[in-house]
Each structure stands twice: as C-alpha cells, then as structure tokens.
C-alpha cells in the first residue's frame, strides 16, 4: 500500500472525497427518514403560517365582537347632566361602533360588581369631595376645586367594561381639550393655547422604517428556524450514531476526526439553512397571497444587493449555530441526552439575537465582539441603510472565528475517549471517595448559591449572630457533613484532625498578625484596580460589629466560630476533595479563591482569597486543620480588636506591608523545614 502524502493536493483531494462520502450518506439517510422530514420540514410549512393566520383571525373576530357589543352604563352624582351631555357627544363622535346603553340602577357600584353594568360615571360638581372608591379612572384630578369632575368606574378584567371606559376617557379628553381652545379663542386669548397641532413628519423613508422592523426580527427568526430545524439532524448525527454504535465504526475508518466533523458540520449547516430558507420563502408566499397581511404602509422592498449582503452576513451565523448543535450532539452520550441539551441551547442561543431590540445599541460598540449579536446588529443597520463597513467586516470575522472555534471543540469531542467509547470511565457507583473528588466543586457551587440567596435575603433583617450561625453551622458545616455522609467518608480524615508538632503553634502566633497585615497590603493593591469608597468600608465594619453586641460575643461569633467551621469546610472538606485532582500550588490557589468567593462583597474577595491561600498553605505544610483554625481565629480576632480600638491598617505605609510579607515568608520557610505534609497529595510526577 503506497504512502499517502499528508499534505498537499493529494491529501486535500482525499479529504474532499471523505467529506463528500459522509455528506452523501448523511443526506441519503436523512431523506429516507420520513418522520424527520415530516416533523422538521413539512409540518412547520403549514403550522407556522397557520398559527399566524389563526391568531390574526381570532384577533379580528374579537375586535368585531367587541365593536358590536353594548356598553351598559349609568350616571350618578350632582353633575349628571354634564355627564349625560358629554356621553352623548362621545357616542356621536365615536367611529368604532360601540353602542352606549344607559341602564337604570339604584346602586351602580353594586350593579357593576354583579355584572349588570359595564361602567358608571360619577359626576361631581366643583368643590365636591372625592368618593372613596378603589376602582376609578381619574380625570383632571387637579381641577377638582374649580370645575366639575368625572370619575369613570369600570372593571379592567371585563373586555366590554375596559373598552367602554377607554373610549369614554379618550373622548372626554378630546372634548375637554376642544372646550379649552374654544374658550380661549372666544375670549381673544388664542395665543395662550401655546402652539398649534403637532404634526408628525417622519424623515425616514418607508423602506427604512420597514428595514428597522425586519432588522429587529430577522436574525431572531432565522436563529429559531435554524436551531429547531438543525437540531433534528444534529441529534442524529453524533448522539444518534453513538447510541446505534455506528460512531465507533466510523472512527475506525481512515477518515480523520477533522473530516468527520467537517462533513457533519456541513450537513447540519445545509439542513439548517435549507429549513430557514424554506420557512422564509413560505412566509413570503403567504404574504404574497395576502393570507398574512402586512401592517399598513409597510414596504417589503429589499434590493438584491442588500439581500446578498444579508445572506453573506448570515453564513458565519449559520456556521456557528450548526457548530454549536454539532458540539452539543457530540457531547451528549445518547439521543435522549442530546434532546435534553437542545432546549437550553435554543434558549441561550437566541439571547444575543435580541440585541437589535436594545435601544441605543449600535454595531459601533463593544457589541461587535459578541458573536450572533454583532450579526443581528449589522443586519439591522444594513436594512436601515447604514453601512459601517469596518464594523460589518469585524462582526463577520468575530462570528466566523467563533464558528471555527466551536468546530475545533467538536473535533476535540471526537477524541474524548469517555464520550466516544461508552464503557470508558463508566461506573454504576454513585458515591465513594473517587466520586466525591469529582463532585466536590459542584457541591461547593450549590453551597455558594444557598449561601448567597440566604445572605441576599436576610442581610440587615436578622440578628447578626443568628445569621452567622446559619452560615457557619447550617450551610458550611451541615453541607460538609452531608457530603461526608453521602460519600461514606471518614470525617476525621476529611477534616484533617491530626496532631501537629509543638513548634507549629508559636509560628502560627507570629504568622497570623503578619498575614493580616500582608492581606491589608493586598487589599490596598486591589483598591488600585477596584477602588472602594471609604463610606462603604465604614458601613461594612459597622454592620459586622454592631455596637449592641458585647465584645466577648463578637470574639465568639466573628473569630472563634468562623475559625472552626470555615476551616472545617474549606481547609477540611474542599481541600480534601481536590487534593488528588490538583498539584499543591493550584490546590492552594483554588481553595483560596473559592474561600474568597464565599465572601461575596466584591472588595473582600481578593484579601480573603489571599488569607484563604495562606491558610491552605499552612494546612498542606502541617497536614492538619488545627493550625489553620488557630491562624484564622487570630486573624479575625485581631481585626475585631483593631476595629474596637479604631485602628486602620489601610493607613500604614508600603514598608509596613513589605515587612509583614517578609515575616510571613519567614514563617512559611520555618513551617516548610518542620513540615508534616498533607497525605495523598498529587505529586509533580503524575
């Protein structure tokens, strides 16, 4: 067998042959799948226009019915003659065909409540007091002292009532305005009218107005068509192949992963585009047949060159959409799993497509860097006749790059063994230490969400002591215990309850104040990037140390308990869970960062993450959680003492911070010399 060149024309020709063969087979199989064709193409051809036609028919029928309905009304109050006169004039002026029918009643409010009346007008003479009622439409509230007042009583939950009240309100306003103008003119005060009738003069042409409307919706609709149509073939193309066992057959052929992905991407892209084009033509056909009427004055006139440009802009969008569908299908291990993923993908996918609806957002902004949103904005601008070429090209390139990247990810999926070979990495076991290692970070994400929701809802409304107890004991410690129990682990091992060398304790006593000072330096550094107002810091300090709580309780709740429970949670459970997944340096960084994220106030994240890193390092070097507990409690205790004596570490100089950092390094060097390493750490050889 001759050697086939890996590069050059022969390799390209071979790739083309492979891609052609896969595409042809995919299309053959798709066309033979009648159910898919019917569900994805034929049905939508009828359903979409039928839905639009049906909704319009229902709307029109409703309008007709409402127009011919009688509005039963009554008039009460001392100024009833005025009200009758105005209602008669309103009825005469109205062109909607609503018939006003006066109905006799002794208690209009009761009649309205029981449905015997649709509305009643309460007419008050000048100076008369407002009646206490909860359902009224206020007219000229400011005029009550000098002129009669009309109050419209109606019910918005009834179509006839709401419609009648709206009609009367409109006419009353009109009549009042006309009356004012008439009065001013009759007294020779026409100049007091202010200005004449405001006329609208739209400088945008009908084509541009239509372009704006089309531009807003076009990408959204195209995305919906492509996502719904493309998902039908995407789900079969990789997830379906895995389920049938044909993917493994294909992967044992000489076809490269890149060629397989390219072919399947092309198939999804073609199907998604075909379905989008069919649906669009179908829509236009219904418009042409006047089965779907366009709004009055709407000019659907897009020149061929603009149509061509829009098509060019849609190509990277279609490539990205089909790439995401392919990636999703590749990630799923079965047909059912893929279907499960497609719904959120559809929801998330259409979010950037609504960019043209956002007021004031133009392509010439950071939005040009957001795939899909940039194409949607570019198309809208092109349709209204704005051609910002550099940004149009940039939008095209950004979305095309995103499509290319997604395709590379899909290629990687085809090399991910656990996704392509069903038995690799599979196990029926749902608990145990190995499972815990994989699930500890998601578990902490859930814990964070619970903590965040609790903190956001009770902050300032609950006694600080109770809030801290819930956080520390229920959420942190309870969550940790739950994980330990679920995975049948030894609490002693997870929490690192191990004895430590005697020399560790004085080192902790020296290290804790140095660490606190160094953390203050880190905070000052972080403030250069993210400045924090002094008032915010003061408010936070007061919130954390309320004056009504005795000092000993502050020490207990803010120093001792966090020292114990936060250490059990972060340097105990989290560190134990990640010890085999990460090398020691990333391990302390990740545990520190997670610890920082749990201190949700943005300005606290960096310094607390720093302390978290320090405490993780102490735990790794001593093999025990106890030194970190003492260090943490001392750190928090010193903070309370500083607050109590109104000392501010932020006012120190760089020299102080540098000195503290040096002491901290010296303490770590000493801990390193007498280290008792944390067991079962991932070594550099692995």
Task: Work out how close the CB of 225 gets to other proteins at its nearest, in angstroms, rounded to a whole number.
Answer: 25
> What string of DSSP letters covers 473-528?
IIIIIHHHHHHHHHTT--HHHHTT-----TTHHHHHHHHHHHHHHHHHHHHHHHHH
Distance, CA of 358 to CA of 365 (rounded, Å):
13
Say how many Å lie between the first and final Cα of the chain, rounded: 40
Residue 21 is a binding residue for other proteins (CB under 8 A): yes
Task: Work out how close the CB of 6 gets to other proteins at its nearest, in angstroms, rounded to a whole number.
Answer: 8
Query: How, if at all, do strands 70-76 and 99-102 pair?
Result: parallel
User: Which residue lies nearer to other proteins by CB, 302 or 486?
Assistant: 486
Asked whether the beta carbons of 588 and 613 are under 8 A apart, the reply is yes
Asked whether the beta carbons of 214 and 383 are under 8 A apart, the reply is yes
Q: What residues are paired with 151 via a beta bridge? A: 122
Residue 17 is a binding residue for other proteins (CB under 8 A): yes
User: Which residue lies nearer to other proteins by CB, 173 or 248?
Assistant: 248
Subset of residues 248 to 267 that bind other proteins, contact rule: CB under 8 A? 248-256
Structure-block tokens of residue 474: 């229920």
Residue 12 is a binding residue for other proteins (CB under 8 A): no
Residue 60 is a binding residue for other proteins (CB under 8 A): no
Q: What residues are paired with 119 via a beta bridge? A: 73, 154
Residue 28 is a binding residue for other proteins (CB under 8 A): yes
Residue 14 is a binding residue for other proteins (CB under 8 A): yes
Among 33, 135, 162, 337, binds other proteins (CB under 8 A): 33
Residue 18 is a binding residue for other proteins (CB under 8 A): yes
Distance, CA of 368 to CA of 497 (rounded, Å):
54
Q: Which of 576, 592, 598, 559 is nearest to 471 (CA)?
A: 598
Among 175, 220, 302, 421, binds other proteins (CB under 8 A): 421
User: Which residue lies nearer to other proteins by CB, 258 or 300?
Assistant: 258
User: Which residue lies nearer to other proteins by CB, 31 or 113?
Assistant: 31
Residue 186 is a binding residue for other proteins (CB under 8 A): no
Q: What residues are paired with 75 via a beta bridge? A: 121
Distance, CA of 550 to CA of 320 (rounded, Å):
61
Residue 379 is a binding residue for other proteins (CB under 8 A): no
Subset of residues 423 to 482 that bind other proteins, contact rule: CB under 8 A? 424-429, 432-435, 438
Distance, CA of 517 to CA of 653 (rounded, Å):
11
Stretch that binds other proteins, among 20-28, 400-408, 546-554, 560-568 (CB under 8 A): 20-28
Write 486-491 long-range contacts (CB < 8 A, 24+).
Answer: 486/431, 487/431, 487/432, 487/433, 487/435, 487/436, 487/439, 488/431, 488/432, 489/433, 489/436
Residue 245 is a binding residue for other proteins (CB under 8 A): yes
Residue 37 is a binding residue for other proteins (CB under 8 A): no
Task: Work out how close the CB of 412 gets to other proteins at its nearest, in angstroms, rounded to a whole number.
Answer: 13
Task: Work out how close the CB of 253 gets to other proteins at its nearest, in angstroms, rounded to a whole number.
Answer: 5
Task: Work out how close the CB of 557 gets to other proteins at its nearest, in angstroms, rounded to a whole number.
Answer: 40
Task: Work out how close the CB of 289 gets to other proteins at its nearest, in angstroms, rounded to a whole number.
Answer: 36
Q: What residues are paired with 121 via a beta bridge? A: 75, 152
Stretch that binds other proteins, among 246-254, 327-335, 379-387, 623-631 (CB under 8 A): 246-254
Residue 228 is a binding residue for other proteins (CB under 8 A): no
A 10 A CB-CB count for 622 gives 25
Among 368, 377, 420, 664, binds other proteins (CB under 8 A): 420
User: Which residue lies nearer to other proteins by CB, 6 or 673?
Assistant: 6
Asked whether the beta carbons of 76 and 123 are under 8 A apart, the reply is yes
Among 23, 29, 441, 510, binds other proteins (CB under 8 A): 29
Collapsing DSSP to helix, strand or coil, 74 comes out as strand
Collapsing DSSP to helix, strand or coil, 72 comes out as strand
Q: For the stretch 51-66, what's the b/e string if a residue is b when 16 or more beta carbons lie within 10 angstroms of its beta carbon?
A: ebeeeeeeeeeeeeeb
Angle between helices 433-458 and 584-597 (to 10 degrees): 30
User: Which residue lies nearer to other proteins by CB, 15 or 280?
Assistant: 15
Residue 22 is a binding residue for other proteins (CB under 8 A): yes
User: Which residue lies nearer to other proteins by CB, 21 or 175?
Assistant: 21
Residue 685 is a binding residue for other proteins (CB under 8 A): no
Structure-block tokens of residue 186: 């009759």
Structure-block tokens of residue 660: 């503290």
Stretch that binds other proteins, among 29-37, 38-46, 70-78, 183-191 (CB under 8 A): 29-37
Asked whether the beta carbons of 286 and 49 are under 8 A apart, the reply is yes
Task: Work out how close the CB of 21 gets to other proteins at its nearest, in angstroms, rounded to a whole number.
Answer: 4
Stretch that binds other proteins, among 193-201, 329-337, 413-421, 647-655 (CB under 8 A): 413-421
Residue 9 is a binding residue for other proteins (CB under 8 A): no
Residue 2 is a binding residue for other proteins (CB under 8 A): no
> What string of DSSP letters covers 376-390?
HHHHHHHHTT---HH
A 10 A CB-CB count for 140 gives 13
Task: Work out how close the CB of 241 gets to other proteins at its nearest, in angstroms, rounded to a whole number.
Answer: 9
Task: Work out how close the CB of 680 gets to other proteins at its nearest, in angstroms, rounded to a whole number.
Answer: 11
Among 246, 365, 553, 654, binds other proteins (CB under 8 A): 246
Task: Work out how close the CB of 22 gets to other proteins at its nearest, in angstroms, rounded to a whole number.
Answer: 7
Residue 1 is a binding residue for other proteins (CB under 8 A): yes
Q: How many CA atoms lie within 13 A of 594 on its CB side?
A: 28
Structure-block tokens of residue 114: 């029981």
Task: Work out how close the CB of 161 gets to other proteins at its nearest, in angstroms, rounded to a whole number.
Answer: 60
User: Which residue lies nearer to other proteins by CB, 148 or 240?
Assistant: 240
Subset of residues 389 to 408 that bind other proteins, contact rule: CB under 8 A? none
Q: Which of 319, 322, 331 is nearest to 239 (CA)?
A: 331
For 310, phi then psi, to 5°, come to -60, -40
| Site residue total, other proteins (CB under 8 A) | 40
Report the interface residues with other proteins, using CB under 8 A: 1, 3-4, 14, 17-18, 20-22, 25, 28-29, 32-33, 244-246, 248-256, 417, 420-421, 424-429, 432-435, 438
């Amino acid at each position: 067998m001759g050697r086939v060149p890996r590069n050059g024309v022969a390799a390209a020709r071979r790739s083309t042959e492979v891609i052609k063969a896969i595409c042809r087979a995919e299309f053959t199989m798709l066309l033979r799948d009648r159910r898919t064709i019917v569900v994805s193409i034929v049905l939508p051809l009828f359903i979409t226009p039928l839905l639009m036609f049906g909704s319009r028919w229902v709307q029109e029928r409703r309008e007709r019915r409402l127009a011919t309905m009688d509005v039963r009304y009554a008039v009460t109050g001392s100024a009833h003659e005025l009200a009758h006169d105005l209602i008669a004039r309103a009825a005469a002026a109205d062109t909607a065909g609503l018939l006003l029918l006066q109905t006799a009643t002794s208690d209009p409010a009761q009649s309205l409540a029981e449905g015997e009346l649709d509305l009643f007008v309460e007419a008050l003479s000048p100076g008369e007091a407002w009646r206490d009622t909860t359902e009224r439409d206020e007219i000229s509230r400011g005029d009550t002292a000098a002129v009669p007042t009309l109050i419209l009583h109606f019910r918005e939950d009834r179509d006839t009532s709401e419609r009648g009240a709206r009609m009367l309100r409109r006419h009353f306003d009109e009549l009042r305005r006309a009356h004012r103008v008439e009065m001013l003119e009759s007294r020779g005060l026409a100049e007091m009218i202010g200005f004449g009738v405001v006329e609208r003069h739209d400088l945008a042409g009908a084509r541009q107005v239509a372009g704006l409307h089309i531009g807003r919706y076009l990408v959204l609709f195209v995305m919906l068509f492509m996502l719904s149509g493309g998902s039908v073939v995407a789900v079969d193309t990789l997830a379906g192949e895995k389920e049938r066992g044909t993917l493994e057959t294909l992967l044992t052929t000489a076809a490269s992963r890149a060629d397989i992905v390219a072919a399947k991407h092309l198939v999804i892209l073609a199907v998604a585009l075909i379905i989008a084009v069919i649906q669009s033509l179908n829509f236009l056909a219904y418009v042409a047949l006047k089965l779907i009427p366009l709004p009055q004055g709407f000019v659907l006139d897009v020149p061929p060159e603009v149509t061509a440009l829009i098509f060019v802009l849609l190509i990277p969008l279609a490539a990205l959409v089909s790439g995401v569908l392919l990636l999703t299908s590749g990630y799923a291990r079965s047909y059912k799993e893929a279907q499960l993923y497609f719904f959120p993908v559809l929801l998330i996918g259409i979010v950037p497509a609504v960019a043209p609806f956002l007021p004031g957002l133009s392509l010439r902004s950071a939005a040009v860097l957001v795939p899909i949103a940039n194409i949607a904005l570019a198309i809208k601008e092109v349709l209204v006749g704005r051609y910002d070429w550099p940004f149009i090209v940039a939008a095209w390139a950004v979305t095309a790059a995103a499509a290319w990247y997604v395709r590379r990810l899909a290629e990687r999926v085809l090399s991910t063994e656990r996704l392509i070979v069903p038995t690799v990495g599979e196990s029926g076991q749902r608990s145990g230490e190995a499972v815990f290692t994989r699930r500890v970070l998601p578990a902490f994400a859930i814990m964070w969400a619970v903590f965040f929701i609790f903190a956001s809802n009770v902050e300032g409304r609950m006694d600080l002591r109770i809030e801290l107890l819930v956080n520390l004991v229920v959420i942190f410690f309870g969550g940790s215990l739950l994980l330990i129990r679920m995975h049948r682990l030894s609490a002693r091992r997870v929490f690192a309850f191990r004895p430590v060398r005697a020399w560790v304790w004085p080192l902790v006593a020296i290290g804790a104040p140095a660490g606190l000072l160094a953390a203050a330096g880190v905070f000052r550094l972080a403030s250069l990037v993210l400045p924090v107002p002094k008032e915010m810091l003061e408010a936070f300090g007061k919130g954390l140390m309320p004056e009504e709580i005795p000092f000993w309780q502050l020490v207990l709740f803010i120093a001792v308990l966090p020292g114990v429970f936060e250490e059990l949670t972060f340097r105990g459970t989290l560190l134990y869970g990640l010890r085999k997944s990460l090398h020691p340096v990333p391990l302390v960084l990740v545990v520190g960062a997670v610890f920082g994220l749990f201190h949700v106030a943005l300005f606290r994240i960096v310094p607390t993450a720093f302390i978290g890193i320090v405490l993780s390092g102490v735990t790794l070097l001593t093999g025990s959680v106890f030194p970190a507990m003492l260090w943490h409690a001392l750190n928090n205790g010193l903070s309370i003492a500083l607050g109590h004596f109104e000392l501010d570490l932020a006012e120190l100089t760089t020299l102080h911070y540098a000195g503290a950092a040096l002491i901290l390094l010296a303490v770590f060097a000493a801990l390193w010399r007498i280290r008792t390493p944390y067991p079962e750490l991932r070594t550099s050889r692995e």
